[in-house]
Copies of this chain bind each other. A is one copy, B any other.
Amino acid sequence: MKEFDLIRLLVSNVPTNRAVRVGPGDDCAVLDLGVPEKEFLFKTDAVVEGIHFVREAGAEAIGRKALARCLSDIAAMAGTPIAALVTLAMPENCAPSFIEAIYAGMELLAKQHDVAIAGGETVRNPERLILSISLLGSVSRGQAVLRSGAGEGDAIFVTGELGGSIDGHHLSFEPRLEEARWLAENFRPSAMLDLSDGLAGDLRHLLAPGRLGAEILASALPIRKAARIRSKEGRTDKSPLIAALTDGEDYELLFTQKPGKAVALLDRWKEVFPRTPLSCVGKIRKASGLLIRDKSGVRELKDYGYDHFAKS
């Protein structure tokens, strides 16, 4: 059973109540806590030693990554983070100085985004280190951008670059909080998420199963230089294109937009975020399936999603 199947099974009938506006299945839950102008975002994310990081990455980078992933999920809803809780499940061979440095990496990023570390807990996990972070954020009422909402003909956009994240980006990426809020206020996306499993895998979350599909223009994909170098040097058997589609851990925004606004958005974006690429990489189609168009024609891409759960 793959991760998505298990999650679908688990959350199919969970208890809800009137505080929950959006439950499991989006980047964050959306809660109505009785503030007239705001709703709240609630998210948890864990990184596991040997799966999401190795200790050689350095304690500060590990701590930073754990929090940055959660912040990226808040960004995916166009929200603002408020407070985090930190759970450390750790073996006895973690020196206190290593744990302190994990906290230092986390705290530096937290301060940059005015996120409080409001509590947490430490437990023993004898075999490997796990960092689990829960985050509470806020979003202007009605402004949370959900994964649902993409329509036929919508243009598909991604921020930044894709592929080859393993060469460093997965530790140093900047959560797109400011960009996402600007989008929600100025060019509200019809749907949005943050890319963690690769464009090909994550696109599925924006497509109503069996009803919508997507066509990606290969030449429009913003392929990261690292993906090209890794391919050239034989450090991966993926082509740069397949790496950009499937490597995962991009932590960029993937969103859709009514086609009529696409050009205006690209123009304004360049003025507001001159250092961050924004690429229109394709469009939503009525028929299901993910098509890749390149100079040799159109072909369908199947089963290319990165499955965190299936990797070890």
Contacts and interface: CB of A to CB of B under 8 A. Distances in A.
B24 A118 contact: yes
Contact of A15 (B14, B15, B23, B116): B116
Interface string A215-230: 0000000000000000
A167 interface: no
A112 to B, nearest CB: 10
B115 A17 contact: yes
A125 B48 contact: yes
Given A38-B34, A121-B44, A126 B312 contact: yes
Contacts of A47: 123
Interface string A1-26: 10100110111011111011001110
Interface in A92-116: 96, 99-100, 103, 107, 110-111, 114-116
Nearest to A23: B118
A119 interface: yes
A190 interface: no
Contacts of A139: none
A127 interface: yes
B28 A119 contact: yes
B100 A10 contact: yes
A89 B115 CA distance: 25
B136 A15 contact: no
A43 interface: yes
Contacts of A13: 107
Interface of A: 1, 3, 6-7, 9-11, 13-17, 19-20, 23-25, 28-29, 31, 33-35, 38, 40, 42-48, 51-52, 82-83, 85-87, 89, 96, 99-100, 103, 107, 110-111, 114-128, 130, 132, 134, 136, 138, 308-309, 311-312
